[in-house]
Amino acid sequence: MPETSQLAGRTIVLGERELAIGFRLIGLHDVVEVTSESAQAEFQKAVSDERYSLLVASQSLRGHLTEAQRLHADASLRPLVVFVPTPTGEFEVESINSLAKRVLGITLSVAG
């Protein structure tokens, strides 16, 4: 049976300067500041790196990705891609039902 350390991966964060600073302050080392020009390349590099099991990215980054990259982000389980609200500006919040469907492949419902 594989050791837990072999299954666990690292976390990487991609985002604007403010987001990057925040994650560095809480102790994460794999933090990459991205711009609209570098978003696609940095995203591709991160999802291709097998060391990472979680990719936390700024919601604004999503808009700079190609359609293929957005589809990959939605379907990927390793690394699991989670978009977080930008430090400033507008953002879209993913519902719990949508997240469960995307990550677990199940639909949540409330029995009445």
Torsion of CA 31, 34, 40, 42, to 10 degrees: -30
CATH fold, domain 4-104, is Rossmann fold (3.40.50)
Mean pLDDT by 10 residues, the chain (112 residues): 61 94 92 96 97 94 96 94 77 60 65 56
Domain residue ranges of the chain, discontinuous segments joined by +: 4-104
pTM recorded for the entire structure = 0.73
53 close to 79: Cβ distance less than 8 angstroms:
yes
State pLDDT tens for residues 24-41. Answer: 999 999 999 999 999 999
